[in-house]
């Protein structure tokens, strides 16, 4: 799906920037926005991100969590302008920022030096664990930070829906004359046990439920599969592929991955779809990236600025 605008969606990822260190005339530095039920989660914030957010109609007031993978400039320099814009727009509600240590000091120094106070509080959450950990949770979503293999402390992020409740068979509910507590129990997948010992199997009361969906952001990183179990079976995986395979040695030296390494990881993890991005500015034509990756993993698309990927609803059988 290549949408021109970020429209209302149930679970949609939009690429705001797909370049590595140096931007190009067609590719901004790394940034993505994930729209789940009209809640917007910003993933990295390279220079110019706020312009991209406006261009693709993300609702700035609905961004309450920002996830920064690491403190290389192409992944967070856009924060200074974005946070200032939030303030100029009169934001009052808190903003949560998740990042490796050091970002709080940088931001406070900048806004203190410029005497540009912010109109809203920021809650800084520092990522320090050497193993995957859950770092955020709301009523419908959980987010895990996954350590990457890069030149400095770096984390990927796994966004997982909480399991949906079952849809109920209204006629069966009426026939069984379920109470409100029993209805809640049935929606949670429980059998109903009456005081007289009668058991009403849950399968007689339900019509099914939507499957929980997962998006994983895996960057910046050299190839590593220590945490592949956390990625296994994801509906959508973004894995950096800064270089073509011919630059494999240089990729390793700089803490990055190649096309074939991203493809191998996706294949091992058994994901449904792979997105590759974070392309080096030395490449003008990205077709070879797609072709190399498809030689191992066919279900792949290029991250392109403005391109959206929607994870459709699926029902349990």
Instruction: Look up residue 109 and give its DSSP letter.
Output: H
The whole-angstrom separation of Cα 159 and Cα 8 is 18
Contact indicator for 68, 76 with CB cutoff of 8 Å? yes
The whole-angstrom separation of Cα 133 and Cα 222 is 20
Structure tokens at 225: 């599969």
191 is catalytic: no
Contact indicator for 314, 10 with CB cutoff of 8 Å? no
The whole-angstrom separation of Cα 145 and Cα 31 is 17
Instruction: Look up residue 210 and give its DSSP letter.
Output: B
The whole-angstrom separation of Cα 232 and Cα 311 is 16
Rounded to a whole number of angstroms, the CA Rg of the chain reads 22
Catalytic residue among 3, 10, 74, 220: 74
Contact indicator for 280, 258 with CB cutoff of 8 Å? no
CA distances from 248 to 148, 244, 254, 258, 294 (A): 18, 7, 10, 6, 17
Contact indicator for 37, 16 with CB cutoff of 8 Å? no
> Which residues are known catalytic residues?
74
């Amino acid at each position: 799906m290549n949408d021109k605008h970020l429209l209302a969606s149930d679970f949609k990822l939009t690429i705001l920037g797909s370049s590595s260190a140096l931007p190009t005339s067609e590719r901004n530095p790394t940034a993505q926005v994930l729209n789940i039920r009209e809640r917007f989660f910003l993933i990295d914030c390279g220079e110019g991100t706020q312009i991209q957010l406006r261009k693709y109609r993300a609702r700035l007031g609905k961004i309450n969590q920002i996830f920064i993978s690491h403190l290389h400039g192409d992944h967070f320099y856009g924060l200074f302008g974005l946070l200032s814009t939030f303030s100029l727009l009169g934001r009052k509600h808190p903003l949560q920022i998740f990042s490796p240590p050091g970002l709080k000091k940088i931001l406070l120094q900048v806004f203190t030096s410029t005497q540009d106070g912010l109109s809203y509080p920021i809650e800084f959450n520092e990522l320090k664990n050497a193993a995957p950990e859950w770092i955020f949770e709301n009523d419908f979503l959980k987010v895990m930070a996954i350590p990457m293999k890069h030149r400095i402390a770096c984390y990927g992020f796994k966004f997982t829906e909480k399991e949906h409740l079952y849809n109920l068979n209204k006629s069966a509910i009426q026939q069984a004359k379920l109470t409100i507590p029993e209805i809640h129990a049935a929606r949670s997948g429980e059998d109903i046990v009456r005081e007289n010992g009668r058991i009403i199997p849950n399968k007689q009361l339900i019509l099914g439920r939507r499957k929980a969906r997962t998006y994983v952001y895996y960057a910046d990183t050299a190839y590593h599969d220590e945490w592949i179990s956390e990625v296994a079976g994801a509906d959508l995986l973004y894995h950096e592929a800064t270089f073509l395979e011919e630059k494999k040695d240089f990729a390793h030296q700089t803490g990055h991955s190649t096309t074939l390494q991203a493809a191998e990881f996706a294949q091992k993890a058994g994901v449904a779809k792979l997105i590759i991005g974070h392309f080096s500015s030395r490449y003008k034509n990205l077709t070879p990236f797609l072709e190399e990756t498809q030689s191992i993993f066919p279900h792949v698309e290029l991250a392109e600025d403005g391109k959206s990927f929607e994870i459709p609803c699926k029902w349990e059988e």
